[in-house]
Amino acid sequence: MKTLVVMRHGQAMPSISGQPDKDRTLTEAGIMALEARLPYLLRLLQAQGRTAQVWASPAKRARQTAALLEHTLKDKGVQVDGKVQTPESLWRQDVQGFLAQLQASDTKLVFAVGHIPFVEEAVERLVGTTPAFSPGALACLEVPERKVDGVEDDARLLWFVQGPVAAHWATLIQLQEVITQTAEAIEERRAAFLKDPDDIETIHRFRTNSRTLRSLLAFIKPWQDRAENAEAQVILRDIVRHTSRLRELDVFEKQVHDNASSSPELLALCRSEAAAERAKVREILASKQVTRSFERAMELSRHITWRRRVAKRGLSAEAIRTRFDALIESVSADLAVVRLSDAELTHDVRKRAKRGRYVAELCQHILGPDAVDIAKGMMAHQDDLGAVCDARANIRLINELLSRNVPEPVVWELNLLRAQNEAFLYTTFKASEAM
């Protein structure tokens, strides 16, 4: 008896006008899906120690599939006899010719990678049943070593397994692309800031991109390697903290600048404080220790290690949407009851609203078209909570400046600004409690 494993090639790229059908290749997701699932699918065969031949249609997508199959077989202890053979019968959909070649072969174990409808017709011809082959599906048959005309009555279907759902790996690719692009943006912002630390917008974008990446990593936490996710998040948290005071100074300087009655002395004080802090931040970001940590976080972000179950099965868009919906529902529930006078809770809810916004903006191609409106809603909440957090930060900063030896007119202005921020908080808290 011969063992025949009939396989449909993995998910292929769609047809392109003017491109020969033979030249179509596997998609990146199709390749990932086969690499992940073939080792598990081939366990059913229990062929360790046996010798096999791998046949494939001459089409590029079939040859790519066969190459992945050959690699997996060798890795599982199956000896592959010679190179992958490419009989034209598999491309011409010639079942009769293929079966004749199978009978003529001395090999007891043959893998044949072909196309629809050939794979289904070959199985039907041999065992009288027609399983529907998805991309990457395999059917294992026991075929008598006798003339083709008598095969139909005695061949047996041992098992049939559908191929992996390549779309589940496509979502992993999409997530990785989003995270990689964010990491690349951070690297560009850091380099630009180190080159020109006086560019206020650059450090602002660096901080925003860093928060965005950390939000994305927090979102994929259930699916990424636990230790790597935690390490990257800690590094990014520490990097953002290095820039926190500079961000507060920039916000306060804007408030001072927007106040038409601000004196040149107060404006000069704000600019001096911000410039000194930017120099400090630049020195920290350029240090060897922070540079090593930063590069480590970027490397972990560019090459996500998925947890074993995710690497094995992929990740559906539905699973991503379910986690996103849970995040938005949690944030919305807290927004409905948050007491703005509770500084810690306000900060936490704002942070999670940002996370929902960043994920919605960057993953809308996975989440669906309504993600845009959800992002806008989260941005509105983020802005409202941000105004409260900024007022608190302004008061802290003013108190710090007042503890120094500043000119008396500036002291008066700072006290007035502190009173304005306190009045804003009082009015906002009262309005919130009345709702």
pLDDT digits (tens, 9 = 90+) for 53-80: 999 999 999 999 999 999 999 998 999 9
Between the alpha carbon of residue 121 and those of residues 6, 180, 368, the distances in Å are 11, 44, 38
At which residue do the structure tokens 């690499």 appear? 35
Highest mean pLDDT among 250-254, 333-337, 429-433: 250-254
Q: Would the pLDDT of 112 be above 70?
A: yes
Q: What is the mean pLDDT of residues 324-337?
A: 90
The dotted CATH code for 2-164 is 3.40.50.1240
Per the CB < 8 A criterion, the answer to whether 29 and 166 are in contact is yes
Q: Which distant-in-sequence residues (6+ apart) come within 8 Å of 412 by Cβ?
A: none
Per the CB < 8 A criterion, the answer to whether 81 and 102 are in contact is no
Q: What is the mean pLDDT of residues 283-305?
A: 97
The token pair that represents 61 in the structure block: 């997508």
Q: pLDDT confidence of 100, banded at 50, 70, 90?
A: very high
Mean pLDDT of the chain: 92
- Give the pLDDT confidence score for residue 434 in this predicted structure: 66
Report percent pLDDT > 90 for the chain. Answer: 74
Q: Would the pLDDT of 183 be above 80?
A: yes
Q: Would the pLDDT of 373 be above 80?
A: yes
Per the CB < 8 A criterion, the answer to whether 319 and 174 are in contact is no
Q: Would the pLDDT of 148 be above 50?
A: no
- Give the pLDDT confidence score for residue 253 in this predicted structure: 93
- Give the pLDDT confidence score for residue 125 in this predicted structure: 92
- Give the pLDDT confidence score for residue 43 in this predicted structure: 83
Cα(34)–Cα(12) distance, rounded to whole angstroms?
A: 12
Q: Would the pLDDT of 147 be above 60?
A: no
- Give the pLDDT confidence score for residue 337 in this predicted structure: 85
Domain boundaries, the chain: 2-164, 184-312, 316-435
- Give the pLDDT confidence score for residue 129 in this predicted structure: 87
Q: Would the pLDDT of 10 be above 60?
A: yes
- Give the pLDDT confidence score for residue 431 in this predicted structure: 83
- Give the pLDDT confidence score for residue 150 in this predicted structure: 46
Q: Would the pLDDT of 298 be above 70?
A: yes
User: Sheet containing 109-114: which strands, arranged edge to edge?
Assistant: 79-80, 51-56, 109-114, 2-8, 138-143, 156-161
Q: Would the pLDDT of 375 be above 90?
A: no
- Give the pLDDT confidence score for residue 432 in this predicted structure: 77
Q: Would the pLDDT of 382 be above 90?
A: no
Q: What is the mean pLDDT of residues 9-24?
A: 92
Q: What is the mean pLDDT of residues 14-25?
A: 90
Q: Would the pLDDT of 149 be above 60?
A: no
Q: Would the pLDDT of 145 be above 90?
A: no
- Give the pLDDT confidence score for residue 187 in this predicted structure: 96
Q: Would the pLDDT of 206 be above 60?
A: yes
